[in-house]
Structure 1
């Protein structure tokens, strides 16, 4: 069973990525993460680390706080 927080975080990352017209590959490049890892985050298949959350926030030019808030 997937944890709700992973599902919500994955949805948020996908919404921001689409809003910014980025492909998973482009977000991966900007964040220094692998494309398949981005997909796994969006599908709530990975329990992402705080370090990688920071990388994604940086790729979106957001603070971690803003990344988690709508």
Structure 2
């Protein structure tokens, strides 16, 4: 069983990896997701707890399905 104490860091790292894979800046992702750039930065560093709805908006901005996101986290 995996330790979930670092879940925020794992989510943030995955978001960052996907963003970089798409060649997007934090600002571009924020604009496409409808959130502030500083939120994206905090999320990527594992400092922010993201709601499910906001995570869906961010993944939509990345054109990535939430089911796939969690299956590869």
Check whether TM > 0.5: yes
Q: Kindly report the root-mean-square deviation, in angstroms, between the aligned alpha carbons of the 2 structures.
A: 1.0
Matched residue, 1:41: 43
Post-superposition, which runs of at least 4 consecutive aligned residues in structure 1 deviate over 4 A? none
Matched residue, 1:4: 6
Deviation at 1:52, TM superposition (A): 0.5
TM-score by length of structure 2 reads 0.86
**2:53 aligns with one of 51, 54, 62:** 51
User: Which one has a bigger Cα radius of gyration?
Assistant: 2
TM-score by length of structure 1 reads 0.90
- 1:14-70 deviation digits (Å, cap 9, x = unpaired): 000000100000000010110000000001111110010100111111221122233
